[in-house]
Amino acid sequence: MSQIELRPGLADVPVAESAVSFIDGKRARLEYRGIAVETLARESCFEETTWLLLKGDLPTQKQLADFDDQLRHHRRIKFRLRDLIKCLPESGHPMYALQASVAAMGMFYPARDVTNEKSNWESTVRLIAKLPTVCAAFQRLRYGDEPITPRDDLDHAANFYWMLFEKEPSPAIRKVIDACLVLHAEHTMNASTFSGRVTGSTLANPYTVISAAIGTLTGPLHGGANEEVLDMLEEIGNIQNAKPWIDDAVAKKKKIMGFGHRVYKVKDPRATVLQDLAEHVFAETGRPKLYDLAVEVERIMTDILGPKGIYPNVDFYSGIIYQALGIPRDLFTPIFAIARVAGWLAHWLEQLVNNRIFRPEQIYVGKTNQAYVPLSKRP
Ligand code: SDX
């Protein structure tokens, strides 16, 4: 008998020392490099927050201006990559397109030597700068439209909106998109970050690392939940149906999408900020009925499963905001990835500092010492 204790899902098992972000799951506290995420969503911007995550401290004015310049400079994608995206099936999920494109991107740039700090930084900038372009290009190409060229005179959030809709966002909408990117940029040792760190620990190139992390984010238990929340709310349909629908789902032990978290046993602080942001969006777009239904679902769920520590997570309100902005449902998780690439890369760079390949143990439960019966003697 093995003496090793199995912890399914590695619950409470540390897999690395990290200084990137911190969660207090009982006090609804999330900090990036020691700064509360609510403060960053309000006061900072995606570019500055990304620098903070990657470098450990807030940038000086010059550092931020230079970094912003580099990001703007690297937004365009090579025509071969655009052609590759064009060949992907238009019915395929944009997350698969993003994952495939990022993996392919690794073939365009020399990045195999991960001991080269200059090359690692160039890959970091390229990945952060190009993910929105790839996502927007797939969105256009799958409908037979030409991709919209990125604009150097717009910031990261406004340029992404521009590439999707060929119009500039209002200042309020720009701020909401930017704050959503900040809120999704990093979240300690979640599944996709761990996946990226595992891949990074083999000294694989950064494009492979990020493509592995994107693949992990696709699942409905992780980033994919934001799409499923809207499917669920539409299935519930109206406020009167919310209580019977939830009672039935809980009785059948179904997972309610957008609720529950391994670390938070209270409401995810990001969900609270997203609700504030939603009010700003609705001031321009009108208040969708789905939002009132979501608030009612939260109220009922808090009564039923709140005592078990199950509350809304980041995915519960994000989709409602994106839908109000006119963003297609299957782009919700790619937007998560466009933001989280900052955190993934911060963890990858951290992993490389004192790297040791991940190679955990298993508890073997199979047969041993079996005889080989030749095929001719088997029935
Ligand atoms: C993200 O880790 C991160 O940081 C991720 C993330 C990030 O920023 O990177 O925050 C982003 O992935 C958010 C999560 C999105 N997923 C969902 O909304 C899917 C629905 N939620 C879950 O399936 C679940 O809560 C998880 C996956 C988020 C957490 O899974 P755990 O920690 O393994 O918890 P569990 O499935 O073992 O549940 C523990 C108990 C169970 O009940 P018992 O068997 O003990 O009686 O809580 C119940 C579960 O049935 N439960 C739920 C529930 N979530 C947990 N019951 C109903 N609905 C739910 N959503």
Kindly give the confidence (pLDDT) of every residue in the chain, 379 residues in length, as a single tens digit, with 9 standing for 90 and above: 457 899 999 999 999 999 999 999 999 999 999 999 999 999 999 999 999 999 999 999 999 999 999 999 999 999 999 999 999 999 999 999 999 999 999 999 989 999 999 999 999 999 999 999 999 999 999 999 999 999 999 999 999 999 999 999 999 999 999 999 999 999 999 999 999 999 999 999 999 999 999 999 999 999 999 999 999 999 999 999 999 999 999 999 999 999 999 999 999 999 999 999 998 899 999 999 999 999 999 999 999 999 999 999 999 999 999 999 999 999 999 999 999 999 999 999 999 999 999 999 999 999 999 999 999 999 9
Any idea where the domains of the chain sit in the sequence?
18-220+331-353, 225-324
Q: Which residues contact 50 (CB under 8 A, 6 or more apart)?
A: 67, 128, 185, 342
Cα(8) to centroid of ligand 1, in Å?
13
Note whether 18-220+331-353 and 225-324 share their fold. Answer: no
CB contact at 8 A, 159 and 317: no
The model's pTM is 0.97
- Is 315 annotated as catalytic? yes
Cα(318) to centroid of ligand 1, in Å?
17
Determine the 3-state secondary structure of 259 from DSSP.
Answer: strand
Residue 362 backbone phi and psi in degrees, to 5: -125, 165
CA atoms within 13 A of residue 71's CA, in its CB half-sphere: 24
Task: Report DSSP state, residue 28.
Answer: T
User: What is the rounded distance in angstroms from the CA atom of residue 176 to the CA atom of residue 207?
Assistant: 28
Residue 32 backbone phi and psi in degrees, to 5: -100, 120
User: What is the rounded distance in angstroms from the CA atom of residue 46 to the CA atom of residue 328?
Assistant: 22
Ligand 1 atom closest to the Cα of residue 223 is 12
Picking from 118, 374, 344, 39, the residue whose alpha carbon sits closest to that of residue 210 is 344
User: Which residues is 22 bridged to in the sheet?
Assistant: 31
The per-residue pLDDT for 2 is 56
The per-residue pLDDT for 237 is 97
For atom 51 of ligand 1, which residue has the closest CA? 260
CB contact at 8 A, 111 and 211: no
Cα(263) to centroid of ligand 1, in Å?
9
At what angle are helices 332-353 and 46-55 packed, to 10 degrees?
30
Six-digit token pair at 3? 């003496």
Picking from 279, 344, 348, the residue whose alpha carbon sits closest to that of residue 317 is 279
Using the structure block, give the residue that is written with the tokens 């150097």.
152
CA atoms within 13 A of residue 341's CA, in its CB half-sphere: 27
Size (the chain), residues: 379
User: What is the rounded distance in angstroms from the CA atom of residue 109 to the CA atom of residue 70?
Assistant: 16
CB contact at 8 A, 305 and 250: yes
User: What is the rounded distance in angstroms from the CA atom of residue 234 to the CA atom of residue 242?
Assistant: 11
Determine the 3-state secondary structure of 35 from DSSP.
Answer: strand
- Ligand 1, CB cutoff 6 Å, lining residues: 9, 187, 190, 221-223, 225, 255-262, 305, 308, 310, 313-315
The CATH fold of domain 18-220+331-353:
Citrate Synthase; domain 1 (1.10.580)
Residue 23 has a CB neighbour count (10 Å cut-off) of: 21
CATH architecture of 225-324: Orthogonal Bundle (1.10)
DSSP string, 337-353: HHHHHHHHHHHHHHHHH
Determine the 3-state secondary structure of 320 from DSSP.
Answer: helix
User: What is the rounded distance in angstroms from the CA atom of residue 46 to the CA atom of residue 341?
Assistant: 11
Ligand 1 atom closest to the Cα of residue 316 is 18
Six-digit token pair at 67? 């970094």
Candidate from 184, 255, 270, 318 with most ligand 1 atoms within 8 A of CB, to mutate: 255
- Is 231 annotated as catalytic? no
Task: Report DSSP state, residue 376.
Answer: G
For atom 25 of ligand 1, which residue has the closest CA? 260
